[in-house]
Amino acid sequence: MMRFFEYLEQGPGLDVTAWFHQGGETILYWLLMPFHWLGSEAAALLILPIVYWSLNKDLGKKLLKVTLLSQALSLGMKYWGSRPRPFHVKPERFTPIHEYAEPGWPSGHTIFGTSLGLCAASFTRNKGVKLFWAFFIIIMGLSRLVHGVHYPQDVLTGWLVGFLAYWAVISLDRQICHRTQSWSWKTKIFVQLGLLLIVLVGVSVLPLKLEVVKGLLATLATLLGAMLGWTLEPQWAPYSTNTIPLKHRILRSIFGLILLAGIHLGVRWMYYAFAEELSFFWARLFYGGRYAFIGFVATLGVPLLFRVLKLSSVQNPAQGESGAKSS
């Protein structure tokens, strides 16, 4: 398999990427720059919480699950395959939009765009909107060729992994909800804390590159921390995204991002202030715990803030968010 990848990277895959890239001197290169930002971590940290807090809670929850799972898969595959990017192989032929040091296969931007597009399309019956998201998924992938940072095989794999992550979350979500619907919230919290501890310890002791361990801890711990918040939110800080004024949506986004950014910067400072004094294992554990706390704040801490500021707009907990299909 690796020989086949080498053949593509030195031959037809390189030529196809170079044809799309055109030396980075086309208008298309600049027109597609927003897609580069949309696939970044900064965009995800900005867009996903706003969707969850202010637009559609059910859609936001699904987006967070699919995105975090797909990024964990992407990271594991990147460092397992350790495949170069086009400008690593022939730097004289490419002017990449960003000179990534990490491996190329598969395309993380494509995986994120596919996950985002499939989730958003699943929450509408409007054919025009579904077509828009299909177009978005295709353009996100092709933009990586135009920007000279991925091969065609990276993009094709990204589309496939994004779809599989979406399918896995939808399928597992239904099964887990069915099996745990009779559990009390205390039982769910106990199980989730156990899973979080297993992930933090298990990933921390893996004999992998530090970049891989950090990436896995960040994505999986954030997801499990968010799950703790999702379990407690209906009990402690229920809120709705249905039929609320535009002013409240804007205020939620502003105050939520301020709180989340403050927590993120605070725990980041703590990590770098004390990590050097900790052993390698405990530093990794602290790193994962930091992201679990951020996920917890995003799904419970911020809704608690909404309650204090009288921005909750609580609806009947038995009802789902309007316009959303059951998940």
The values of phi and psi at residue 151, to 5°, are -90, 165
CA separation (Å) from 38 to 42, 113, 153, 218, 265?
A: 8, 8, 21, 19, 22
Instruction: Give the residue from 258, 291, 287 showing the smallest Cα distance to 272.
Output: 287
Asked whether 106 and 73 are in contact (CB, 8 A), the reply is: no
**Mean of the per-residue pLDDT values of the chain:** 88
Report, as an integer, the average pLDDT of 128-139: 95
| Residues ≥6 apart with Cβ < 8 Å to 290 | 221, 267, 268, 270, 271
Model confidence at 294, pLDDT cuts 50, 70, 90, reads: very high
301: which DSSP letter? I
Environment class of 299 (CB within 10 Å of its CB; exposed 0-12, middle 13-18, buried 19+):
buried
Instruction: Give the residue from 96, 87, 69 showing the smallest Cα distance to 170.
Output: 69
Encode pLDDT of 5-19 as tens digits.
787 888 888 999 999
Residue 110 corresponds to which amino acid? T
- What pLDDT shows up at residue 327? 33
Q: Does the pLDDT value for residue 269 go beyond 50?
A: yes
Considering only CA atoms, give the Rg of the chain. Answer: 21
Report, as an integer, the average pLDDT of 274-283: 83
302 vs 255: CA distance, rounded Å: 8
- What pLDDT shows up at residue 314? 64
Encode pLDDT of 212-233 as tens digits.
888 888 999 999 999 999 999 9
Q: Does the pLDDT value for residue 263 go beyond 90?
A: yes
Q: Going from the N-terminus, what domains does the chain have, and what CATH number goes with each?
A: 1-182 (1.10.606.20), 187-327 (no CATH)
Q: Does the pLDDT value for residue 210 go beyond 80?
A: no
Instruction: Evaluate the omega torsion of the peptide bond into residue 91 and state whether it is cis, within 30 degrees of 0.
Output: no
